[in-house]
A and B are shown apart, each in its own frame.
Chain A
């Protein structure tokens, strides 16, 4: 199996023939199923609250039982108010978020794949030092970095631009770590060696052999990074001042904090939050077969 892409670790969507159920047919294991259902309820019910709350009008939000959706048209009302708010600001923010998360995650994957590939497939002076430096970056919290990042970016006149949010999110130590592990596991040295014998350049080897083999792992990195940027708050909050560049998180925060003297737009914020979670859930459901989270553990071999 080694040396072919299929030697890569199993995915969530592994074909049924490998399912354990195939090894022993028998009666349903009700105990285990019940435990799993309990676990799923623990995880799903609170999330449902957001969607149920989005159906309520401001008058109902704090007065009716939390887990009973409202059918009095609160949802339509909330949606149309959200749409009307500040000249379609909500949809503008949604588009911005898509831009930050979409472009940001794709570029992160490119940067991390190249770095991870180099770390896994070459020996060079400074390799471990660079890797350790990058990994240590995980330990420095964003709360600490935000203001220095702002002040430094201001010196090159980038604050307040799309770049100020995009660029800092491109460096993701976690993604580089995953890419290194995945490149180690999925790209056999033999293929690279034979490519070199054929006279291919190193860049060509990376593009035509390394990258294609790494694709399943890269999709996972892409998804993780997409979610991370989608939900990022502090960085855009510090960097941006024009509302038209806000992502959803910052826009909704501004809606929620119009000052103590103004009514908080709870229902709008909750409806906006529900709408902003939906695309993520859809993305997971669509792409769940590509999840390669096993590479977290260092690339298990089957």
Chain B
């Protein structure tokens, strides 16, 4: 497998050297011209496909494919998920060493597209479009082009400690106003506990909350972008959480730290606005609290509304440098739409599939290990998934996310205002777009 990669890299090296010598990127527009068309080549011809992914136990899912498709072997190169992975993919692509298949979070896709790393799959995967809910398909499409096939989606829902809610006589909040009142109530009845925490380390979480409120952080009019990180919806979300933090009604320490793990174990934190995968995370950090949690729809901004956002989720993309795009497309479709692959990913990898059929499949009849007390968990999740609204991810999500970390860290530490924090996210994102040569309107 690897030798073959090297061979293709050898070819790419010549271009890379030329690229280094003159002004660079000369070959990329050519590559781009071929996009949009259906992948040339025979989908059943022999192929070796490398797949960079971080998905849990994906090796066992791939084994199923490899047994059925001895001619088109897929090999998994396990990667660490995170910002660094994108840099790795970009660097590998620049050197001509990219794998055929890359696993990518939705918000990272635009960067891969604008760097010419991933193929336009519009024609290749049109036949599976109907297998996905419109909102999920929208996460991998820009304008009328599709660049990846959704793998898992992550509609947000609220997890709470049923036992402690009962103990203190707390009501599950149905609106954010209820949520704020509940936070205050918790501080009164159990001063050592908090309802939840606001994390400066998780921009994706905040983005999901903003989506629920109807925010649109990036919108494009033709080829011009406008940035709306300080729009009305986001401002409402920022003010809401800023007030809670300022009054010490919720905690302000980051999530995913040993301290947070301890707090999730010992009931210091009573609730967690998370996503459908949250049950799996709880299993990792607080296995002994199984049966004590329950999931509910997110609190709403107004009575009678029914919406949620996405926190995370990922897709499978095919690279421009892939020698076997037809075979790769066949695999990507199999992985994300075939009942057997979906079932394997659900049971072995614990992910929540983007494909509609997967969400009601037999693998999701049993509730997650952590919520045995809620047999209807996945039925609820499917219902919630239907109310999720995402937004278009812009070309520089990494800049916005980094600005989020910096701005909210500062705001929490110095008692600064959360609306100033989103303002500085907005400014940093706009400035970066302009520097990079994008047309920004407004």
Contact = CB atoms under 8 A, between A and B. Distances in A.
Interface of A: 58-59, 61-63, 86-87, 89, 147, 150-151, 154-157, 159-160, 237-238, 241-243, 250, 253-254, 256-266
The 3 A-B pairs with the shortest beta carbon distances in the complex, nearest first, are A263-B284, A154-B95, A261-B277
B2 A242 contact: yes
A59 B13 contact: no
Given A58-B287, A63-B266, A154-B13, A243 B78 contact: yes
A59 B261 CA distance: 10
Interface in B261-275: 261-262, 265-266, 275
Nearest to A150: B91
9 contacts: A59-B288, A62-B258, A63-B266, A154-B92, A157-B6, A159-B9, A237-B84, A261-B313, A263-B283
Give the interface residue-count category, chain B. Answer: 35 or more
Contacts of A151: 91, 94-95
B12 to A, nearest CB: 9
Contact of A155 (B16, B91, B288): B16
A253 B84 CA distance: 12
Contact of A154 (B97, B277, B280): B97
B169 interface: no
A147 B91 contact: yes
B37 interface: no
Contact of B152 (A58, A62, A261): A261
Contacts of A237: 80, 84, 88
Nearest to A60: B288
Given A254-B78, A257-B81, A261-B281, 6 more contacts: A159-B92, A238-B88, A259-B312, A261-B275, A262-B277, A266-B284
Contact of B81 (A58, A89, A154, A259): A259
Contacts of B95: 150-151, 154-155, 159
Interface string B244-262: 0000000000001010011
B17 A155 contact: yes
Given A86-B59, A238-B88, A238-B91, A261 B312 contact: yes
B54 A62 contact: no
Given A241-B77, A242-B2, A253-B80, A262 B94 contact: no
B79 interface: yes
Most buried by B among A156, A157, A238, A254: A157
A264 B265 contact: no
B5 interface: yes
B77 A154 contact: no
Contacts of B116: none
Given A157-B13, A243-B77, A259-B81, A264 B256 contact: yes
A252 to B, nearest CB: 9
Given A253-B80, A257-B82, A241 B284 contact: no
A231 B276 CA distance: 37
B56 interface: yes
A238 B94 CA distance: 13
B358 interface: no
Given A157-B13, A262-B350, A242 B277 contact: no
B97 A160 contact: yes
B163 to A, nearest CB: 16
B97 A159 contact: yes
A11 B133 CA distance: 72
A112 to B, nearest CB: 30
A260 B56 CA distance: 12
B84 A259 contact: no
Contacts of A157: 6, 9-10, 13
Contacts, number: 128
Contact of B13 (A86, A155, A242, A264): A155
Contacts of A250: 80
B401 to A, nearest CB: 12
A241 B92 contact: yes
Contacts of A264: 256, 284-285
A51 B257 CA distance: 20
A63 B265 contact: yes
B77 A62 contact: no
Contacts of B20: 155
B96 interface: yes
B204 interface: yes
Nearest to A246: B78
B52 interface: yes
Nearest to B9: A157
B406 interface: no
Contacts of A242: 2, 77
A69 to B, nearest CB: 17
B308 to A, nearest CB: 16
B280 to A, nearest CB: 6
B211 to A, nearest CB: 16
B64 to A, nearest CB: 16
B80 A257 contact: yes
B287 A59 contact: yes
B385 to A, nearest CB: 14
Contacts of B82: 257
B196 to A, nearest CB: 16
Contacts of A238: 88, 91
A258 B81 contact: yes
- With a 10 A CB-CB cut-off, give which of A160, A264, A265 has the most chain B CB atoms: A160
A159 B288 CA distance: 44
A261 B280 contact: yes
B284 A160 contact: no
A156 B95 CA distance: 10
Contact of B285 (A62, A86, A147): A62
A63 B288 contact: yes
A147 B92 CA distance: 10
B182 interface: no
A150 B5 CA distance: 16
Contacts of B152: 261
B97 A241 contact: yes
B379 to A, nearest CB: 20
Contact of A263 (B81, B91, B285, B314): B285
Contacts of A256: 80
Nearest to B59: A86
Contact of B99 (A155, A241, A253): A241
B154 interface: yes
B76 interface: yes
A243 B76 contact: yes
Nearest to B82: A257
B202 interface: yes
A254 B283 contact: no
A150 B56 CA distance: 28
A62 B261 CA distance: 6
Contacts of B91: 147, 150-151, 238
